[in-house]
């Protein structure tokens, strides 16, 4: 994928000695539309600083459109601002604001339709229904853009970066806020999301649907409505991300729903209602993650099976693990639990007795949520102590047989 992007950028570099067009006050063209009409494939259009209110700019040729001094393209809440239908297009350096909004059409600041090798980088997008929208595209790159919406009702808001039916995309180093979802993937394959910061979005910081063989890493998802959702997907790599400060009755750091054969490695889950919520998840490996000060660190529903939770650190969570079933189909191994009260007589760093992370109170709350009113009461303390001695309601086989005595170095 990086090789293809490199070829695309080299292609743009080859174009530069071709015809250059300048738009702005005192330049060859007074408006962008005139420059687009006169340009040929391979040309570069430089747009100088200023305010441009030209409606929808349709790019149907392979060319570069570059802003100098962040010229403003203002849709005046009437239209889509840039629509790209050609491959090998490069857009950089604009402030794009005030797109229109329609209930029957996804209107965007920049929309790319059925094209390949399009690069969108270094733009500021403000108060657009959808920020950047790619549909049926291959080998495209969306990098270093700042997308800020104005939070409205969910049905009247679009997504910051929205990809539908795309392959081999790169979404990197973008900042997204104030949208419905920060980043949205649906039917997107073999793609990468990295070093993005998605915060204060109405619903999800990142939303995956039916997207396979993708990787997202080194992203920061904080203060979003519900967190991050990965749904109906397989073979997703989720590594070295931060999921934090997602609070609410239906909020979580990461939702895994009907997902399989994936890897969750070296992430941080901190200050979420639930760090990870798993439903219908199969063959997932969670390893070397940090779970710190969440309501629930892990909520593993009975529909989950063949998952491996190993070598993670659990610090200061109200509930380390909860489940709504008694059948144990998942493996816990070698995790550090700050609630572990066992001993290590041979000093090998591994507890000599297993740790059962599901407390009786967690089972009660899972079945009767209003039981949270009794949190930290003396009665709950006695119930949990009695359950550890004589397990009755908690899944007896759900245990970590080799708990670590000290926090693991991650």
Q: Can you spell out the DSSP letters for 342-372?
A: ---TT-SSB-SS-B----HHHHHHHH-GGGG
Q: What is the pLDDT of residue 202?
A: 95
- The total domain count for the chain is 2
Most confident residue range from 100-104, 253-257, 365-369: 253-257
Whether 43 is covered by a domain: the verdict is yes
Work out the average pLDDT over 31-43. Answer: 97
* Average pLDDT rounded to a whole number, residues 47-60: 97
In a domain, 370, yes or no: no
Q: At which of 198, 225, 252 does a domain end?
A: 225
* Residue at token pair 């816990």: 332
Same domain, 199 and 245: no
373 located within any domain: no
Residue 114 lies inside a defined structural domain of this protein: yes
Distances in whole angstroms, Cα of residue 193 to Cα of each of 174, 236, 341, 405:
10, 11, 40, 35
Q: Which tens digits make up the pLDDT trace of 231-245?
A: 999 999 999 999 999
Contacts of 271 by beta carbon, 8 Å cutoff, 6+ apart: 244, 245, 247, 292, 293, 294
Q: Which residues contact 385 (CB under 8 A, 6 or more apart)?
A: none
| pLDDT tens digits along 141-158 | 999 999 999 877 777 789
Is pLDDT larger for residue 217 or for residue 328? 217
Domain residue limits at 17: 1-225
Q: 10 Å Cβ neighbour count for 76?
A: 12
Q: Strand pairing partners for 112?
A: 84, 134
Q: Are residues 1 and 141 in the same domain?
A: yes
Q: Do 308 and 213 lie in a common domain?
A: no
DSSP 16: T
Where does a domain end: 172, 202, 225? 225
Domain boundary among 225, 257, 281: 225
Residue 61 maps to a domain: yes
Looking at the fold, whether 126 and 243 belong to one and the same domain comes out as no
pLDDT over threshold 80, residue 70: yes
Q: Does 247 share its domain with 201? A: no
Residues 9, 11, 14, 15, Cα dihedral to 10°: -100
What is the three-state SS of 205-269? EEEEECCCCEEEECCEEECCCCEEEEECCECEEEECCEEEEECCCCCCCEEEECCEEEEEECCEE
Judgement on whether residues 212 and 153 belong to the same structural domain of the protein: yes
Residue 7: enclosing H or E segment and its boundaries?
helix 2-15
Phi, psi of 373 (to 5 degrees): -60, -25
Note whether residue 389 is domain-resident. no
Q: Provide the pLDDT for residue 156.
A: 74
- Mean pLDDT score of the chain, rounded to an integer? 90
CATH (domain of 189) = 2.160.20.10
pLDDT value at 10 more than 50? no
Question: Is residue 240 located within the same domain as residue 221?
Answer: no
Q: Would you say residue 378 lies in a domain?
A: no
**Residues 201 and 86 reside in one and the same domain:** yes
Q: Same structural domain for residues 192 and 251?
A: no
Of 76 and 2, the structure prediction assigns the larger pLDDT to 76
Predicted TM-score of the model (pTM): 0.89
Q: Is 216 in the same domain as 247?
A: no
Output the pLDDT for position 380.
53
Residue 394 confidence class, pLDDT cut points 50, 70, 90: low
Shared domain check, 157 and 51 = yes
Segment 153-168 shows an average pLDDT of: 90
Per DSSP, what are the bridge partners of residue 394?
A: none
> Could you count the other beta carbons within 10 Å of the beta carbon of residue 396?
12
Q: Are residues 107 and 136 in the same domain?
A: yes
Confidence at residue 15, expressed as pLDDT on a 0 to 100 scale: 45
Residue 390 lies in a domain: no
């Amino acid at each position: 994928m990086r090789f293809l992007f490199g070829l695309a950028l080299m292609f743009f570099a080859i174009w530069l000695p071709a015809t250059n067009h300048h738009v702005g006050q005192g330049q060859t063209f007074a408006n962008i539309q005139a420059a687009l009409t006169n340009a040929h494939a391979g040309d570069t259009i430089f747009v100088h600083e200023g305010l441009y209110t030209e409606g929808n700019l349709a790019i149907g040729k392979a060319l570069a459109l570059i802003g100098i001094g962040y010229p403003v393209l203002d849709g005046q809440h009437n239209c889509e601002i840039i629509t790209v239908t050609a491959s090998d297009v490069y857009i950089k350096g604009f402030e794009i604001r005030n797109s229109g909004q329609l209930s029957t059409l996804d209107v965007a600041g920049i929309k790319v339709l059925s094209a390949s090798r399009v690069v969108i980088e270094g733009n500021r997008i403000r108060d657009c229904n959808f920020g950047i929208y790619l549909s049926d595209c291959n080998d495209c790159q969306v990098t270093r853009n700042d997308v800020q919406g104005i939070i409205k009702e969910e049905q009247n808001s679009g997504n910051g970066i929205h990809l539908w039916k795309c392959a081999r995309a790169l979404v990197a180093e973008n900042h997204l806020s104030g949208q419905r979802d920060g980043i949205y993937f649906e039917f997107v394959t073999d793609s990468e999301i990295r070093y993005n910061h998605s915060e204060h979005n109405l619903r999800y910081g990142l939303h995956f649907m039916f997207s396979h063989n993708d990787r997202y890493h080194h992203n920061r998802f904080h203060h979003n409505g519900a967190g991050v959702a990965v749904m109906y997907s397989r073979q997703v790599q989720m590594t070295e991300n931060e999921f934090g400060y997602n609070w609410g009755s239906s909020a979580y750091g990461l939702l895994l729903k009907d997902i399989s054969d994936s890897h969750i490695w070296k992430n941080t889950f901190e200050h979420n209602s639930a760090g990870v919520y798993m439903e219908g998840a199969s063959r997932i490996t969670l390893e070397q993650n940090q779970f710190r000060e969440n309501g629930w660190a892990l909520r593993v529903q009975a529909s989950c099976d063949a998952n491996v939770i190993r070598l993670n650190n659990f610090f200061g969570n109200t509930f380390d693990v909860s489940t709504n079933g008694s059948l144990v189909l998942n493996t816990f191994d070698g995790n550090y639990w700050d609630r572990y009260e066992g001993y290590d007589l041979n000093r090998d760093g591994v507890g000599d007795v297993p740790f059962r992370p599901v407390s009786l109170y967690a089972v009660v709350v899972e079945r009767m949520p209003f039981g949270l009113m009794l949190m930290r009461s003396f009665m709950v303390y006695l119930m949990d102590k009695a359950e550890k001695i004589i397990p009755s309601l908690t899944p007896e086989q759900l245990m970590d047989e080799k708990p670590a005595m000290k926090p693991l170095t991650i």
